[in-house]
A and B are shown apart, each in its own frame.
Chain A
Amino acid sequence: MVDRAQVTSAVFAAIEELNQDLPSGSVLEPAPDTVLFGRGSRLDSLGLVNLIVAVEGALADELGVDMTLADEKAMSQSSSPFRTVDTLVDYIVKRLEEEGDG
C-alpha cells in the first residue's frame, strides 16, 4: 500500500525533474510549503502543466499508480489542490484512499 511519505517523495522527485529545465532563479524547493499555484508561485501556467505531468509520471514510475490529477474533480474544487506541495500530496493521498489503493 502506498503511504503519504512515498507520495511526498514522488512529488519531490517530480519537482527535481522539473527543476532541470527551469532557469536557476525559478527552481522550486522540494518542500511541503512550496507554493505551486496562485499568489507566490514561481510557476507560470505551462510550468504548472509540466509539473502535473511530471508528478503523474513519478506516481506511475515509482509507485505504480495510474492517476489523472487535473481532472474535472480537481478543477472544480473551491480550494485548488495544486496550491502547495502539501495540498497536492493531501489530494493524491485522498484520491488513493477513495480509490482503495491507499
Chain B
Amino acid sequence: MAESRVMLITGTRKGIGEHLARRYVEQGYRVVGCSRKPADYELDGYQHVCLDVTDESAVKRCFSQIRKSHGRLDVLINNAGIASMNHCLLTPASAVERLMQTNVVGTFLFCREAARIMPKAGAGRIVNFSSVAVPLRIEGEAAYAASKAAVESLTRVLARELADMGITVNAIGPTPIATDLIRNVPEEKIQRLLRRQAIRRMGEFRDVANVIDFFIRPESDFITGQVLYLGGV
C-alpha cells in the first residue's frame, strides 16, 4: 500500500531525521529529505535536497520539484530544528531570530507548500516537532520554548484551516533524546529534566517513530490539532 506514497522530511542529514528517512524508505515510501548540507548516505528511494528551510524561494523550488517528479505528497515531517540554551539575560536578539526563523518560519513554509500539493493525493498528513520544553517551562530555554510554543499554535490553527482538504496536522513533543541538539546540555541538567517525566529515561528514535506512525496511519484521519508529549510529561 505504501509503495507509491511520497514523504518529505526536513533535517535528514543526521539524528532523528536520518533515522526517519531510513525507516520510511524501508517501509516503501519514496522519501525526499533536506538539510543545509549534503547527506553522507544514499538510499534507494531516497532523494536529498540541499536547502535552508528559512529560504522561501528554495522551499518553493523544492516543492515544485516534488510536484513535477512525484505529482503528489502524502506526508510531511517537519523535523528540522535548532536549539539554543542560555539564560535570557545572556541571549542576544540574533539568537532568538535564528530560532524563530528555523523552527517557526521554516515549519510554516513547509506546511503551506505541502498543503498546496497534498489535496492532489486526496489526503495528507503533517507532523510538526514541538518539545517538552514547552509544558515543562525549562529555565534557560526561553527562546527555544517560545519557538516550539509557536509551532504548537501553528499546528492547532492549521489543523482547522486544512481539515476540509483532508489534511491532518499534529505535533510530537519529544523528551531529551541523545542527538547533537542537546550535546552541549550539561548531564546534571538532563538528569533534572528526566526527573520531571513520568517515565524517567531518555527518549529514543523509536519513541518518536512510534508517534509518527500513529499520526500518519490511514486510520488516524480523525486525529488532528493534537500535541503528543513523550515520557508522560
Interface residues of chain A, those whose CB is within 8 Å of chain B, are 21, 46, 50, 53, 57, 60-61, 66
| Known contacts A57-B116, A60-B60, then 10 further A-B pairs from the complex at CB < 8 Å, ordered by chain A residue | A21-B119, A46-B164, A50-B119, A53-B116, A57-B67, A60-B64, A61-B64, A61-B67, A66-B57, A66-B60
Across the interface, name the chain B residue whose C-beta is closest to A60: B64
Question: Interface 1/0s, chain B 38-76, versus A by CB < 8 A?
Answer: 000000000000000000010010001001000000000
Across the interface, name the chain B residue whose C-beta is closest to A54: B116
Number of A-B contacts (CB under 8 A): 12
Residues of A within 8 A of B119 (CB): 21, 50
Residues of A within 8 A of B164 (CB): 46
CA distance A53 to B60 in the complex (A): 13
Residues of B within 8 A of A50 (CB): 119
Across the interface, name the chain A residue whose C-beta is closest to B117: A57
Residues of A within 8 A of B64 (CB): 60-61
- Nearest chain A CB to B125 CB, angstrom units: 19
Q: List 12 A-B contacts (CB under 8 A).
A: A21-B119, A46-B164, A50-B119, A53-B116, A57-B67, A57-B116, A60-B60, A60-B64, A61-B64, A61-B67, A66-B57, A66-B60
